[in-house]
Amino acid sequence: MVNLRTLAADRNNISYIKLEKNLTDLGLRENKLTSIDISTLDSLRSFGISGNSIKILDISKNKLLNGASATNCNLDSIKYCPSGYKNLVSFVVDSNNLTHIPINFNLWPIIINFICSKNQIKSLHIPGSLAGFATVEACADNQMTDLTFEDPGSINRLVVSGNNITTLQTDSMFDLVSFYSIGNPIKHLNLSNSKKLLVFYISSNELETINIQNDNNSSIIHFESENSPSLYCIQVDDTAYSKLNWRQVDSHTKFSPLCVIESDETISINEPINQHINLYPNPTSNQITLSGFYGQKKIRIINSLGETLFEQQVTSKEQLDISYLKPGLYSVLLGSNNELHSTILVKQ
């Protein structure tokens, strides 16, 4: 067996095995192993040991690895190679007892599949350029409260269900194609820059706002946001299209081209400004005036991201300086929840 390169012995009753040093590919899935020593296999390129009961795994000397699979092994810890894995494409260690994975994609430069769901990982930072990095299912069903990305723009599939995550960097996930989040305390999601999005699935979250106004809503083939009791408004490209095509939403949730938060409640703005209330001049470059109402009313000027740039109480015919605003389109809201009027301001 000195020249043995490949060993495939899945689904047997093997409880102990001594491995040949020249092995390049190893398959020992669904056996009865409680330990395995692959640290001396300098030529090892891939291994699959899922379905055993191995507590500790040492891959610190297996520098040539391009694939690793150790699912459902009761793993408590893994010892990694400090200099990284230049050839590693897939790393799958879901359904174990791992509490920490020191991921460094600068040292794993061509990884495209990384899965460590159903562990006990509380915090995960994914650094590096993520060149070619496509799938992150690292996050599902852990105890994670903190998930950050140094470069989230390359992620195209993200699964974060079953955690305690409150915030995500979704506003810069430009290549995101599918997003799944079930049972997280996330309150706000901004996917307006995810123009490639095809699948959006959330449920049983604590969401208050979703901005999915990405100028490409017609490409989304599945949209679901049920069991979100605090979600009153979803910001979309076209209200009529969303109502017609996206049916799996709660009855209290509305679609709107603009959602704002007032008095801790998200509201949608669809109605035009009252015919007796005037905003002029429009377009303008320096000042605006509102008229046609009595007493004082609150005015807010909001950009395309839903951010309030100006807010104060005004009286009829009072002039307001807007010279500091960048040229573009802004929403002007006047009044409160009981009587709220809106119009579009063109800033030159």
The verdict on residue 305 lying in a domain is yes
Q: What angle do CA 262, 265, 270 make, to 5 degrees?
A: 75
The verdict on residue 190 lying in a domain is no
State the residue range of the domain holding 320: 278-347
The verdict on residue 320 lying in a domain is yes
Inform me whether the pLDDT recorded for 271 exceeds 50. no
Q: What is the pTM of this model?
A: 0.65
| Residue 30 near residue 49 (C-beta atoms within 8 A) | no
Q: List C-alpha distances in Å: 317 to 50, 276, 278, 288, 329.
A: 73, 13, 9, 9, 22
Cα gap 148→155, rounded to integer Å:
12
Element (H, E) at 341: strand 339-347
The verdict on residue 111 lying in a domain is no
The verdict on residue 288 lying in a domain is yes
pLDDT for residue 273: 43
* Structural domains in the chain (count): 1
- Which CATH number does the domain housing residue 307 bear? 2.60.40.1930
Lowest-confidence range among 14-23, 188-197, 247-256, 262-271?
262-271
The verdict on residue 327 lying in a domain is yes
Cα gap 134→126, rounded to integer Å:
13
Could you tell me what percentage of the chain is helix, strand and coil, using 3-state DSSP and rounding each to the nearest 5? 5, 35, 60
230 alpha-carbon distance from chain centroid: 19
| Residue 62 near residue 84 (C-beta atoms within 8 A) | no
Q: How many CB atoms lie within 10 A of CB 266?
A: 22
The verdict on residue 96 lying in a domain is no
pLDDT for residue 1: 46
The string of pLDDT tens digits covering residues 292-324 is 777 788 888 888 767 788 888 888 888 889 988
The verdict on residue 249 lying in a domain is no
Chain position carrying tokens 């809201």: 333
The string of pLDDT tens digits covering residues 76-121 is 999 999 888 999 988 999 999 999 887 766 788 887 788 888 999 8
Among residues of the chain, what percentage have pLDDT more than 70? 87
Token duo for residue 277:
């209330």
CA-based end-to-end distance of the chain: 79
Q: How many CB atoms lie within 10 A of CB 59?
A: 21
pLDDT for residue 232: 83
